[in-house]
Structure 1
């Protein structure tokens, strides 16, 4: 974990549970957050459309894709940011090439490998809406209790 932590859209408990129930097929559920900007605690580093005043604010994410690594190491959902005017932003609101939430791992695979998984391709789906809050954190996906 970077000493400055990171900004993320942290899923509310009911949204995390939706992902676990609908998409989790692996033994180590995560479904915790969508990373926005890693390795900083300076709100000036937030990518657009976010500003410092958005910290603590709730946002809506829409699931738009799903992938599971062939060996069963990691699975993730692709998400878009639903703006107040109804526009779905699918890229650029996170530093990841493909905005996503890592749903689960096999317990051995690093959750960050979801980035490579999704860059290799994913199934487009029309999934549920998720609620998340923009926060700064030092929490690690590895810190999440099993099944939480």
Structure 2
């Protein structure tokens, strides 16, 4: 990991307290692109209320990928393998990005980093809404408690 010094705009490696391998954080994120996404370019008064618009029924493309400051987008050193996933979300298309897909993508990521970057330790950082409610199938969940 690195430290940013705002006084002289330099980036230096974080000093290690114990002898260990450097640590590389990998950030996972996804985004959805919509065709014909109803963008309006017009002037609005600062006190005007916001008007919500429904998303269109146009085709969409979701890209999920992993990135680090040290290596950029996650891929093998020869560029033949990547952890990028592209799906066409929707009921009548590729389906939706589920917790199982996130785990499969994580396993792809682990294979790439273990094979191509064994000289460093890796941390995967996820912020993904579908995983917030994931729990074992036989565990208790407050979501299924009766409302009083």
Whichever of the two has the greater Rg, that structure is: 2
Same fold flag (TM > 0.5): no
TM-score of the pair, normalised by structure 1: 0.23
TM-score of the pair, normalised by structure 2: 0.23
Higher strand fraction: Structure 1 or Structure 2? 1
